[in-house]
Amino acid sequence: MHAGNSLPSTIPSLSHFLDVQSLTNEQFWALLHLARRLKEERMQAGRNEPILAGKTLAMIFQKPSLRTRVSFEVGMRHLGGYALYLSHEEVGLGKRESAPDVARVLSGYVDGIMARVFDHAHVLQLAEWGSVPVINGLSDYSHPCQALTDIFTLWEQMGNLTGLQLAYLGDGANNVATSLLEAAGKVGLSVRIVSPVGYQPDPALVAQTDADVTVTDDLDGVIGADVLYTDVWTSMGQEAEHQQRSAALAEYQINDQLIAHTRNANVRVLHCLPAHRGEEITDSVADSDRSLLFAQAHNRLHAQKAILAHLLGGIPLV
């Protein structure tokens, strides 16, 4: 199911939003359409309908965040609801208190839980033991909110996604790359993972996605790409590996020379942010006209409002 096709009138509702792979193509596209409707409503009317009036979202953070916290908090406010920030020190998820206990306690207070965690098992346990919808705001395994945003941004900026060539450079085994591969299979996007050996995705993950995926360590993999995507080389929790990772990934930086190597004058660039400028991407690219970094960041708000509207507001997927 791709952009421009009519969507079926009845699409099964989601109970949670934990990863991309568990969504059908129709569910994924319906969320994209809902995100577009909510964004257009906000832009045209200056407001969204308060469909989440009286609803509260608990936000559990083991990892600090700019985009995740602000976009979820503002998204709840735009839709008439309230978001409650819970720090790692307050909750101690998995240490001070078990994830099953946290899930059962919060389910008696709030209408939904968003968790940004290290261990993906904690997100799964919150969903298993709680009685309210759970949203994966990021785990070490996956980043489904980012993937929904990435596809929404490309759809908005470039139109038809079928056959579009995206080259992902750097750590192709991280959570962003994982969810992007899963999302690509929902929309007909072709993905080339351009990463050194040791930083490439699990072959089992590649095998399970419906996307056309090529994995290579050769920088010629960017030739003809319509979109380049990168992420930080050292994620939170990997600080001790920074020197090793920087050395291994140095030649995979997105810079002016790599842009020229694509042989595509119209190539666009994505980065989920925060960016370590001068490492995985240069200022000259990040701040150029081909950069979609900030449109992408702003779209976190709209993509996540679609998730919230569906899970907490009962807005159907159509």
Q: List the catalytic residues.
A: 116, 143, 146, 231, 272, 300
Distance CA(291)–CA(227), nearest Å, equals 10
Check: CB of residue 192 under 8 Å from CB of residue 166. yes
Strands (E), 124-235: 134-138, 165-169, 190-194, 212-216, 227-230
Cis peptide before 274 (omega within 30 of 0): yes
Distance CA(104)–CA(129), nearest Å, equals 6
- Tell the residue number behind the tokens 């929309």, with chain if given: 187
Check: CB of residue 297 under 8 Å from CB of residue 273. yes
Structure-block tokens of residue 175: 């959570």
Distance CA(20)–CA(144), nearest Å, equals 6
- Tell the residue number behind the tokens 């900026």, with chain if given: 157
Distance CA(70)–CA(83), nearest Å, equals 10
Length of the chain: 318
Distance CA(12)–CA(92), nearest Å, equals 34
Cβ-count burial of 130 within 10 angstroms (0-12 exposed, 13-18 middle, 19+ buried)?
A: buried
Cβ-count burial of 163 within 10 angstroms (0-12 exposed, 13-18 middle, 19+ buried)?
A: exposed
Structure-block tokens of residue 233: 């080389």
